[in-house]
Structure formats: structure tokens, C-alpha cells
Structure 1
Amino acid sequence: IGLKEIGNEVHFLVYNQGDFFEHILENNNIAVHKFYKRNKFDVLSLFKAIGFMKNQKFDAIGAFLFTPSLYVLLFKLITFSKTKVLVSERSFHSEREEDYRKKIIRKLYRVSNVITANSISQTNYLKSCFPKLVDKIVYIPNGLNIDDFKIKTEHQPSNILKIVSIGHINSNKNTKLLIEAVKILRDTYNIETQVEWLGRTYEFLNEKNIYFEECKELISKYELQNHWNWAGKVKQIQNYLLVSDVLIHPSIGEGFPNAICEGLACGLPIIASNVNDHPHIIKNHSNGFLFNNNDLDDLIDKILRFKKLSIEDKRTMENQARKTAENNFQLSNMVAKYNEMFSL
């Protein structure tokens, strides 16, 4: 939308079914072209998409995440097109052995014109992996239309600590750690919490999410049903952010999460794991707290510190959170940078 507003003609190509944001594109008169895959390895869909990209003669094509990048890189490789191609990683490097598909796709990065990442840590990792491609690798942080985000104005005194967490429910998001913390806060410190967890359960895969089932069993075992709500996919995230006291993001690793950007934009203090780019944005006692990854005691300590803050200190922290978003995540800056990369 931002690229269109500054004078570009923008098209959107999708290969998976799902229309979560389609209405937003339609409302802004952005064409959506669908090449739905019939199965996970639908070669016909891939070549239809490649044919479409060739016939349209686009000046530039951008792809986000690995599989879309594969589509675009194969298009570039097969057709010898002069179209500028930008690929973008939104993930993080893990010490665990990386997926072989990622290694294959990254071998094709040499045919791209620009490689972006939305985190400093991943940008540096890519530069270390591909020293010959350093000039192509660019850091572009997430952008938000900050003015669209309201700021919490009413602060009703309550004995219940209202927590919001946002993320797909999988082991990387470290949901179980927060469940354990909620139990200890109740049993040891007599602190009642209400957690709203926003995010999909991977129901679109038509298979059981084992980690999600384990989380539900843990909540049942600890009798936390009245303290925890699985909100699922949510379009109006602000409705949850504005009634929460704090956003807790306990993930094991991240690129840089939109959830934290959106929380900060609403002036919501953040308690996040001290991984990847989190320490670049979250500062202890300023706009939130950092805790050592997978350290339950440290997470509880940071929650207790936040809970004990005076009303005035919490208001100061909320103001700092909003300022962080305003200073780092302006949509206009992101759009300008992508437009520059597409125009190289």
C-alpha cells in the first residue's frame, strides 16, 4: 500500500489459500493474482506463477520468506529475466542444523539483486555467510503507520495483571515457559494473571499441533483455565493491546517480531527474551525488561519488577514504549527504503 501511495503500480501474487489480509488489498485497489497449490509440491502451480511473472514484465519483484523467494529466484534463473529481484528473510539463525531447503534456496541468492532482513542480527549473519554478496545485503526494519495505533489512556486499578502474548503457537514461541510462570505467580506470590494469547494454531495444515496440545494439557494440569485464553487469529489486535498491562514475548529466537512493534506503538511495556534484536529495542527499566532466554526464574523476576512499579513509573515506561516505536518503526522510512532497493 505504501509503495502504491508513492506512485508505483503494485500487484500481489499468492499460492496458498487464505484471505486474512485480502480485504485490505482490495480496499486499496491492489490486484491479487492467485496460483493456488493443489498440494505441498505442486510444480504446475510454480510454473504457472513463473509464466505469469514473465508475461507481466514487472520492473521489480519482492519475495518474503523462503518458499516465495524460491518461486522468484527460479523465475529469474529459468527465464534469464532482467527484472530486479528482492528476497527477504524474516527469520533468525539457530545453532541447530538448518533446514536443507533453506540451504538450497540460499544457494540461489546470487541471482538476486537485493537481499534484505528485518533484524540487525540476521543481516550480520547473512553477511558472514555470503561475503561475496555483502553489497546486496541490506537491513530494513519493520514499519508501522504509527498514527493508526491508539495509546492506552484509561488505567483502571486492578489486582489482576493483564498479559498479552502474540505469536503462532509452536515451541519456538516458548509458550510453556509463560504457562509455568503464571502458575508460580499464582501459587508462590498470590498474583492473579489473565493471559490473552493471540496467534494461529497451524490449523490450516490439517494436522494436529502437538505443541499446542501439550500447552493445553499443562494449563489443565495447573488449573489455569480461568487465567488463560487462546484468542486465535485476530484482526483487531489493538483491542487486546489497549486493555493489557504488559506484552510478554518469551520466544527462543526471532527475526524481529511485528508483535513487539505493535505493542510499543500502543505504548505497551514489553517483557521479552534477551535474544537476537530484542536488546537493540527493549531497554531495562525504560520501555520494558529483558530476561535470560529459557530462564523461568528470571522471567518471574522481571514480571515481579514490573508489577511493583508505581503508577507514575508505569506511565513513564508506556511513554518510552511509544517513543521507541515512533523513533524506529515509521512506515514511511520502510517504504522509502524498499522503493530505493527496487529502483537500484
Structure 2
Amino acid sequence: MKILCFTDCLGPGGAQRQLVGLAALLKKDNNEVAVMTYYDVPFYSSFLFQNNIPHILIPNMRFKFMRIYALLKYIYREKPEVVIAYQTHSAVIACLVKILYPKFKLLVSERNTTQKYGIKEWGYFSLYRWADYIIPNSYSQERFIGKNIPKLMSKVHTITNFVDTNFYISQPKDQKKENVETLKIVTIGRITEQKNVLRYLEALAKVRDEGILIKALWYGVRQGEEYYKLCIREIDNLHLHDIFSLNQETADVLSVYQAADIFCLPSIYEGFPNVVCEAMSCELPILCGDICDNGTLVTSGYNGLLFNPFDVDDIFGTIVKYARLSIEQKRQMAINSRKRAIEKLSPESFKIKYKTLIGY
């Protein structure tokens, strides 16, 4: 079967990671798969090359609406039987093409949890009626659609993220250098208000002042120069340079996970966070906000701890609570994280759900 996967770019985001992973899984089933993007961000280009999946880049165009023409032209020429569009803007483009040329099956995937239902949201959800299936990657987004656009629910099939548990593994115990004195916390995520960096920084300062030895590292793309400057100013004001660092995104995320003791994601909203899935697979306990679908991944006291991301004191208290657990309690949380990743985040289950909708 001929399948086109369509999204904005091959950047280092969770949506892009899931899309290229899906393309590789479909390719292994002997489908003819291609990936198309309209921004030239090649973070996952090597992954596509290794899996023999062609990448089609729509040239930079003066007017954004020309992307509709470019996708339409490709679909008309190449005749893919199925198009899978990830993320809202890409899904809207694909829906408009479907109106003009309906001779393909269209699956659109929502990759975040919508926070309000205004005119803009009404516009793109109205276009989704042209899709054959709408695939949220979180149950919180499914509930949002059910509440605000119930007429679309017959098309909705939630498929949560997968993780390659054979790749995302903990560091072999004979290689891991443990420092029981200093707690190493890692976060991977865009530097945006959604990720709640400023409250997290305040909480880290309080943890340090409590006398807990920590080293926190954040890896991610900055999105919004003003917010990034606020974060840098807060790091200076709170004198956090000795315990916290902001780092650019890295292709070697496995090493980042393996060098950490715990993973923390302080976001105020999420879809189904890919980085939490990967960290769990790497046998890391998870500290994260009790929001959206996080509770389906993390059970407080089992494989991590949940906090109120709007409350600095609760973030602070949660980090301190984890730091004061016994070595055995921490080790059991780590084991439980890996166990849950294997149980809930299987690539095979993910592929089968898509295969059912695609129809091969």
C-alpha cells in the first residue's frame, strides 16, 4: 500500500519522533512509505535514510497557501492510497486537499491537548469532518473533542504514543557511576510557557535552599525569545548556575536519560508526552504535573510522583519527597517505570491500531 506521512518538519519534537517511527513500522510491513514536510529542519533525516524512507521537502514558498497546492500536486501525481497528517497545521492543509481531491483515505492526528475552543479552533475542527479518522494521541484530547465537537466523535480513535523499549534502555549497571549525594534531574522539552520553566526554576531554588544536593539539566529548543530571556534572567536572579543548565536539543537523547537519576516534566498541559515514555523505558522514575494524560503513565508512589504544576511549593515538595526516599524505594520506582513502559507503550500495539484504520 502507498502511504504518505505529512507533517511540518523533521525537528526534535515528540510528534515528529512518533511520525518517523510510524513510517518505519509501516515500511517494515512492506508498504511504500514516504514522509513529506514543508520546513527544512533535518533532525530526523538520518533516521529516515537508515530506514530507506524517502523524504520530500516542499520548497520554501512565498505564500503559505501554496503548501496546499504542493501537497495536492504530489498526491494527484503519486496517488498515495493513504495520507497520515500529524499536528494541526499539517492536518488542516491535508483536509483542504481532501476537499479538492478526495481520492485517498485521510488520517489526521492531534498531538497536544487543546486549551480553549475559540474561532480558530472551530475553524480547523470544522475541516476535520473531511478526514476519515481523527486520531488524538491522548484521552484528554479525546474528551475535549467529545465535549466541544461531539459530531466528530464517530471519527475519533485515540492511539497513544509508543516507545522502542529495545533502544531506550537504562545504562548497564557496571557502567553507571552513581553519586548518592547529588540528585541528577533531567528534562527534555521546548523552552516555552507551556513547559512551565519559570515555576520549575523557583522550585529548584527552594530545593537547593533546603540543603538537597541537586543537578538539573534541561535540553530543548527555545520557542519565543522573550520567554527564553525571562528564563535566563530568573536563573541569574536565583543564582542557579551551579545547579541548573539550559542546553540545546541533542540527537543523543539516550545518553541524556542514562546519565540521570530521575526525569521531571513540569508542563502545565501536554498531550501524551513522548519524553516521559522514553524516560520510563530507560528505567527512570518520573516527576511530572498531575495534568492531562500524565496520570495514565505515572502513578504516585509506584513509578514516580505527581505534583500541581501551578504551585511552586508543590513542585518543590515533590522533589524533596523523592530525594528523601530510601535507595530501595527509588530503585523500585525505576524498575516499575520500565515495567509500565513495556506493558503500555508497545510499538506492535501502536502499529496494529494504525493498521486497522488504514485497512491493510
Query: Does the CA contact (< 8 Å) of 1:50 and 1:75 recur in 2?
Result: yes
Q: CA deviation at 1:157?
A: 3.0
Matched, 1:143 2:162: yes
| 1:317-328 mapped onto 2 (5 Å cutoff) | 317-328=333-344
Matched, 1:193 2:193: no
Query: Does the CA contact (< 8 Å) of 1:50 and 1:71 recur in 2?
Result: no
Equivalent position of 2:31 in the other structure: 8
- 1:56 pairs, out of 78, 89, 99, with 78
Query: Does the CA contact (< 8 Å) of 2:107 and 2:134 recur in 1?
Result: yes
TM superposition score normalised by structure 2: 0.89
1:10-69, CA deviations, whole angstroms, 9 ceiling, x for partnerless residues?
Answer: 011111111010111011111111113335x43333312211112111110000111111
Equivalent position of 1:340 in the other structure: 356
Q: CA deviation at 1:136?
A: 1.1
- 1:92 pairs, out of 113, 118, 121, with 113
Q: CA deviation at 1:301?
A: 1.4
Q: CA deviation at 1:155?
A: 5.6
Matched, 1:218 2:234: yes
Amino acid at match of 2:88: F
Query: Does the CA contact (< 8 Å) of 2:83 and 2:104 recur in 1?
Result: yes
Query: Does the CA contact (< 8 Å) of 1:255 and 1:277 recur in 2?
Result: yes
Closer, same or farther in 2 for the Cα pair 1:42/1:93, shift >3 Å?
closer
Equivalent position of 1:205 in the other structure: none
Equivalent position of 1:252 in the other structure: 268
- 2:138 pairs, out of 119, 126, 133, with 119
Equivalent position of 1:227 in the other structure: 243
- C-alpha distance in 1, partners of 2:190/2:114? 18
- C-alpha distance in 1, partners of 2:60/2:65? 8
Structure 1: runs of 5+ lacking an equivalent: 203-207
Q: CA deviation at 1:260?
A: 0.4
| Deviating 4+ runs (over 6 angstroms) | none
- C-alpha distance in 2, partners of 1:129/1:151? 41
- C-alpha distance in 2, partners of 1:44/1:277? 36
Query: Does the CA contact (< 8 Å) of 2:263 and 2:284 recur in 1?
Result: yes
Amino acid at match of 1:176: L
Q: Secondary structure at the match of 1:12?
A: strand
The alignment yields a C-alpha RMSD, in angstroms, of: 1.5
- 1:17 pairs, out of 40, 45, 61, with 40
Q: CA deviation at 1:195?
A: 1.2
Query: Does the CA contact (< 8 Å) of 2:67 and 2:93 recur in 1?
Result: no
Equivalent position of 1:104 in the other structure: 123
Matched, 1:71 2:93: yes
| 1:294-313 mapped onto 2 (5 Å cutoff) | 294-313=310-329
Q: Report which stretch shifted further, 149-158 or 247-256.
A: 149-158
Query: Does the CA contact (< 8 Å) of 1:14 and 1:36 recur in 2?
Result: no
1:189-242, CA deviations, whole angstroms, 9 ceiling, x for partnerless residues?
Answer: 11232111011013xxxxx61111100000011111121122211111111111
- C-alpha distance in 2, partners of 1:274/1:155? 31
Query: Does the CA contact (< 8 Å) of 2:301 and 2:333 recur in 1?
Result: yes
Equivalent position of 1:288 in the other structure: 304
Q: CA deviation at 1:293?
A: 2.6
Equivalent position of 2:292 in the other structure: 276
TM superposition score normalised by structure 1: 0.93
Query: Does the CA contact (< 8 Å) of 2:212 and 2:323 recur in 1?
Result: no
- C-alpha distance in 2, partners of 1:113/1:128? 20
- C-alpha distance in 1, partners of 2:67/2:143? 34
- C-alpha distance in 1, partners of 2:278/2:106? 29
Equivalent position of 2:55 in the other structure: 32
- C-alpha distance in 1, partners of 2:71/2:250? 30
Query: Does the CA contact (< 8 Å) of 1:285 and 1:317 recur in 2?
Result: yes
Structure 2: runs of 5+ lacking an equivalent: 1-23
- C-alpha distance in 2, partners of 1:197/1:283? 23
